[in-house]
Amino acid sequence: MAKLAKSPWLLHYDASSCNGCDIEVLDCTTPRFDIERFGIINTGDPFQADILLVTGGVNAQSEAVVKQIYSQMPNPKVVVAVGICACTGGVFKECYNIKGGVDTVIPVDVYVPGCAARPQAIIDGVVKALEILDKKRRDYAQARKSGQADEAEGGNEPWNT
Amino acid sequence: MEYLNTIEPVTLEQFMPEVVSLKMQGWHVTQLCAARVPEGYELSYTFGREYDLRTLRLTVAEDQPVSSITQIFPSAFLQENEAAELFGVKIENIEKDYNGRLYRISRETPFKEKG
Amino acid sequence: MAKQSIVPFGPQHPVLPEPVHLDLVLEDETVVKAVPSIGFVHRGLEKLVELKDFKQYVYIAERVCGICSFGHGLGYCQCVEDIMGVEAPRRAAYLRTIWMEMSRVHSHLLWLGLLADALGFESLFMQSWRLREKILDMFDLTTGGRIIFSVNCIGGVLKDMDSGMLVQISRTVDEIERELRPVADTFLRDVTVGSRLNGLGVLSAEDAKGMGAVGPMLRASGVPYDSRLTGYAAYGDLSVEPITATAGDSMARCEVRIREIYQSFRLIREAIAKIPQGDIAVPVKGNPNGESFMRIEQPRGEAIYYVKANGTKFLDRFRLRTPTTSNIPPMLDLLRGCQLADVALLILTIDPCISCTER
């Protein structure tokens, strides 16, 4: 990661997590780990976010919320599944109300395992996501130039529909 | 510290008067839980006062309606809704009845049957 | 009468780290009714007792919630120990107490940070969480985990602390105590913090008792109730005094939590001074048969654990009544009549833990 094209904004959603990974995600923004040194800002607004961090497996009720937040984010976007529950369902995989990992609902780009995932691992995952975001951005620009933005990710932008 | 922690079986007829008298004596609801037993459901209502705990144990058949205690102890509404939704206990006249839409789970009464 | 409107609040809200949804019925800016809808974090883990045996279930119980994780493991283990007639060795009881009190410090510092964040006081948020990191380092040192430790087992604990660790814990406690002073003073004396918290959401002692409020919420209304006095783990040997305030408003709840942090420091020091030598676990044979209710004073208040066993490896029922379940009815009562802008703050002052509540 030589340089970043711009400062990506990060959105966090708790799908059904036990709080463990959530507070570690919040911890990443505090002085000890300071994810802001990568130019990343934690936002609460999906319309301005580039990176979606999801913690916890998806259940009957959070499924719709996760899908909605994902669709509200502008393209290109990346999704990071934080913690083993978000990756596969973890210890709660067999629960009646857990559908499984986040990838059963939306496409996931980076998986960060751990229970709870450590801040170092989360930062590692986010930095990986930045590379993917850069690549997606280039592909997306290319596609728009050649007028195929609809086929590339970006079909849901107002000017494309 | 010495304190009370008892489980007392009660019948459906004794139950309501007992709850009312607990209320009069200044007890509050601390816990309400259902468990599945072969003959139906086992409902445990735990009341607390100072450091004492008293649990009233009610055993009811599967389709036996139980009247809600929310008229007497309004703060029990969340836990009664939970027992009704997850176990299928027929609790009648809950104040703030969610009608089985508290957790909004995809499976109906998951605790009713094993597995 | 002014026109009523309904404002949805949540589930994804910048102030709340966890998803909860409220429908707020407003008359102009005043809330006349709040209807909660929960279930965003419901997993149904109580039903896992049918799939995991009673020893494996310790790990599930610890994962009810990532903040009160240690206490949930402890409550579950105490229930099963009670049914089986097993008593954990004294050293294990002391170790449990030290971890429990460290969890309380970590949880209250976390809450202070979230409160500062809700007030828009960013630097105070960062300071609270900076201090919290030191406690997490101690968890890391003694258990190998920062959030979820998995050190409880039925019959004791899995890891011991050597004298070097105990010394380091007491040093860290001294350090945090020193550095907490200016942070605590800001919370309690700062004009802007005071103008948001003073007089907001007053809960009377009668209401608190009648509606079954627990923990700092109850004690801030002047009721001296603390289930640590029942003497589980090593609390019977230590000097626990319930910490109370009289005002019953949001500031009182903040004050109680801050004073509880200092109390925890005292208890940790006392436990380190008194900890006996010996085994940390006793072997457990056979399967539990019977039932038991247990209480643990979690950082958020009293939690009740219920285990019903039938003599096989698999339990019949595990039930957990969390502090937040008890604190939601008084919270709804407080919301009635408050201003829309204060809703987030009021919800935060009960220190809600949604993932505990919904399990």
pLDDT in the model for residue B50:
82
Higher pLDDT, B93 or A111: A111
Residues of B in contact with C321 (CB under 8 A): 30-33, 79
pLDDT of residue C38: 77
User: Which of A33-42, B96-105, C48-57, C204-213 bottoms out in mean pLDDT, i.e. has the lowest?
Assistant: B96-105
Domain-located, residue B56: yes
- Chain A residue closest in CA terms to B111: A96
- What domains can be seen in chain C, in order of their start residue? 43-358 (1.10.645.10)
Residue B101 forms part of a structural domain = no
Mutate to test the interface with C, among A13, A14, A19, A66 (most CBs of C within 10 A): A19
pLDDT range class, residue A161, cuts 50, 70, 90: very low
Question: How confident is the model at residue B27, as a pLDDT?
Answer: 87
Detail the DSSP E strand segments found in A1-90: 9-14, 41-43, 51-55, 58-59, 78-82
Look at B29 and C212 and tell me if their CB atoms are within 8 Å: yes
- Per cent of chain C over pLDDT 90 is 15
- Contacts of residue C208, defined as CB under 8 A and 6 or more positions apart, other chains included, come to C217, C218, C221, C223, C248, C330
Structure tokens at A85: 């529950």
Q: Please determine, for residue C14, whether its predicted confidence score (pLDDT) is greater than 50.
A: yes
Partner C, chain A 130-149, Cβ-Cβ below 8 Å? none
- Residues of chain B found within 8 Å of residue C41, distances taken between Cβ atoms: none
Q: Is A9-160 CATH 2.40.40.20?
A: no
Answer yes or no: do C147 and A57 touch at CB < 8 A.
no
Residue B68 within a domain: yes
Task: Specify the length of chain A in residues.
Answer: 161
In this predicted structure, what is the pLDDT of residue C324? 87
Query: What are the residue ranges spanned by the domains of chain A?
Result: 9-160
**For chain A, how far is it from start to end, CA to CA, in angstroms?**
34
What was the pLDDT predicted at A160? 39
Assign C263 a pLDDT band (cuts: 50, 70, 90).
very high
Q: Find, among A111, A112, A122, the residue nearest to A40 by Cα.
A: A122
CB contact under 8 A, A97 and B105: yes
Element counts in chain A: helices (H) and strands (E):
4, 7
pLDDT for res C172: 92
pLDDT digits (tens, 9 = 90+) for A105-118: 888 989 998 888 88
SS3 C157: strand
Q: In the prediction, which pLDDT does C175 show? A: 92
User: What average pLDDT does the segment B3-32 reach?
Assistant: 85
Three-state DSSP class for residue C355: helix
Q: What phi and psi, each to the nearest 5 degrees, are found at residue C286?
A: 80, -175
pLDDT tens, position by position, C284-327: 888 888 888 888 888 888 888 988 888 888 888 888 888 888 88
Query: Does an H or E element contain A72, and which?
Result: helix A62-72
* ipTM of the complex, rounded to two decimals: 0.85
Mean pLDDT, range C22-35, rounded to an integer: 83
Lookup: tokens for C215: 């923990």
- In the predicted model, is pLDDT for residue A1 greater than 60? no
Measured CA to CA in angstroms, residue C101 lies from A23, C107, C156, C262, C295 at distances of 19, 10, 17, 10, 16
Domain range for B18? 5-92
Q: What is the mean pLDDT of chain A?
A: 81
**Weakest-pLDDT range from A34-48, A75-89, A145-159, B66-80:** A145-159
Strand partners for C5: C26
Which CATH number goes with the domain that contains B88?
3.30.460.80
* Alpha helices (H) along chain C: 57-62, 69-84, 90-119, 122-143, 163-189, 191-197, 205-210, 216-219, 250-274, 323-335, 343-349, 354-358
pLDDT of residue C212: 83
Across the interface, of B28, B51, B110, the residue whose CB is closest to C210 is B28
Range with the lowest mean pLDDT among A27-31, C112-116, C217-221?
A27-31
* C241 — pLDDT class (breaks 50, 70, 90): confident
Q: Which of B2, B8, B33, B55 to mutate to test the interface with C (most CBs of C within 10 A)?
A: B33
Sequence-distant (6+) residues with CB within 8 A of C40 are: A14, A16, A59, A61, A62, A65, C11, C19, C20, C21, C354, C358
Question: B73 is written with which tokens?
Answer: 């102890």
Please report the pLDDT score of residue A158 as a whole number.
44
CB atoms within 10 A of CB C150: 18
Neighbours, chain A (3 or more CB pairs < 8 A)? B, C
Out of C47, C130, C148, closest to residue A20 by CB: C148
Whether pLDDT at A149 is above 70: no
pLDDT of residue A150: 53
CA C326 to chain A, closest CA, distance in angstroms equals 19
Q: How many CA atoms lie within 13 A of C140 on its CB side?
A: 10
- % of residues, chain C, pLDDT over 70: 97
Please give the pLDDT value at position A157. Answer: 47
Instruction: Give yes or no for A93 touching C (CB within 8 A).
Output: no
Predicted model pTM: 0.87
Among B106-115, C96-105, C280-289, name the most confident range.
C96-105
Name the band, by pLDDT with cuts 50, 70 and 90, for residue C15: low
Question: Average pLDDT for residues C81-91, to the nearest whole number?
Answer: 89
Q: Which residue of A has its CA nearest to B104?
A: A61
Q: Token pair 């457990």 is at which residue?
A: C284
What confidence score (pLDDT) does residue A148 get?
65
Count: domains in chain B: 1
Is B98 domain-assigned? Answer: no
pLDDT above 60 (res A151) = no
pLDDT digits (tens, 9 = 90+) for C163-204: 899 999 999 999 999 999 999 989 888 888 888 888 888 888
Q: What is the mean pLDDT of chain C?
A: 86
